[in-house]
Amino acid sequence: MKKINTRKNVRNEDLYNEIVKSKERNELTPEAVDLFLLMIHKASTKFKYKNPDDRQDCMSEAISEVIKRWRSFNEIEHTNAFAYYSTVIFNGICKGYNDLYPKNRITTVPLDIDGYGIYNI
């Protein structure tokens, strides 16, 4: 993976301008890619991982989500590109995290009262 300057912060104006340029070119600019990678790196630090490779898997899922959805941002109606893409990134990381660490929950508990099959959620 590319070396990321983690001391840098992503500004909404910079991200918005890069998305507008990317849409004009019909491909992501290198600067937009760098901004996305920085956002993904910083968002991935919010989780605890059992294995360092799991973090890379979650980051890969976030990259996949950004690639699928980068054109979906409507720059005409909205100006907060940072909020849109940070949500996409966070959801991608969560998707990868839930695939790696599924929650084993029982969603229904069977209750048998007087021979009647009653289920409670």
Residue 108's pLDDT is 59
pLDDT score of 79 more than 60: yes
As beta bridge partners, residue 112 has: 117
Q: Which of 3-12, 27-36, 84-93, 107-116 has the lowest mean pLDDT?
A: 107-116
pLDDT for the residue numbered 102? 84
Q: Which residues pair with 113 in a beta bridge?
A: 116
Q: In the chain, helix, strand, coil percent, each to 5?
A: 60, 10, 35
Could you state, in order of their start, the residue ranges of all structural domains in the chain? 12-120
Which tens digit of pLDDT belongs to each residue from 28-70? 999 999 999 999 999 999 888 888 899 999 999 999 999 999 9
pLDDT reported for residue 105: 61
Centre a 10 Å sphere on the Cβ of residue 55 and count the other Cβ atoms it contains.
Answer: 20
Q: What's the one-letter identity of residue 33?
A: V
Number of Cβ atoms within 10 Å of the Cβ of 68: 11
Q: Which residue has the tokens 């099959």?
A: 117
Residue 80's pLDDT is what? 95
